[in-house]
């Protein structure tokens, strides 16, 4: 939670932006409660200007999706979950997810876990 204390955050249309000393994260949110977010797309811009993306799910949300798919027949009747840029976290909420992003930077896993955005103008 220390990361959240050093961050500034604000709504920007359909985005919720969090700025820390090392990155700015832009979460695509609706009118949901920010501390209950369990399925969200995020774009992270690092201090070097590089941009990274992920779709973040909580463990509970993955379970709910798989249960729904068991009824609908999707994903072989809910027998698997796959997402090309998926990041699964334990705790819900923008603050918890921001803390995970910060932790990934701390432990060196950030660039392995998130997907780098390619600048098409290059």
What pTM did the predictor assign? 0.88
pLDDT digit string, tens, across residues 26-37: 999 988 899 999
User: In angstroms, rounded to a whole number, what is the distance separating the alpha carbons of residues 53 and 105?
Assistant: 14
Is 121 a member of any domain? no
Tally of domains within the chain = 1
Is 16 a member of any domain? yes
Is 30 a member of any domain? yes
Bridging pattern class, strands 86-89 and 51-58: parallel
Residue 97 is part of which domain span?
2-116
User: In angstroms, rounded to a whole number, what is the distance separating the alpha carbons of residues 119 and 116?
Assistant: 9
Is 85 a member of any domain? yes
What is the DSSP code string of 22-74? SEEEEEE--SS-GGG--EEEEEEEETTS-EEEEEEEEHHHHHHHHHHHHHH-H
Is 20 a member of any domain? yes
pLDDT digit string, tens, across residues 44-97: 999 999 999 999 999 999 999 999 999 999 999 999 999 989 999 999 999 999
* pLDDT grade for 122, boundaries at 50, 70 and 90: very low
From 44, 56, 38, select the one nearest 7 (Cα to Cα). Answer: 44
Is 105 a member of any domain? yes
């Amino acid at each position: 939670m220390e990361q959240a204390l050093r961050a500034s955050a604000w709504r920007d249309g359909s985005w919720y932006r969090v700025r820390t000393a090392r990155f700015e994260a832009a979460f695509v949110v609706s009118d949901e409660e920010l501390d209950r977010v369990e399925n969200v797309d995020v774009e992270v811009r690092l201090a070097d200007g590089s941009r990274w993306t992920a779709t973040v799910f909580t463990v509970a949300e993955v379970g709910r999706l798989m249960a729904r798919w068991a009824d609908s027949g999707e994903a072989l009747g809910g027998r698997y979950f796959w997402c090309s840029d998926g990041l699964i976290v334990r705790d819900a909420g923008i603050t918890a997810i921001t803390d995970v992003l910060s932790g990934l930077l701390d432990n060196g896993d950030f660039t392995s876990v998130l997907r780098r955005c390619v600048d098409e103008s290059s």
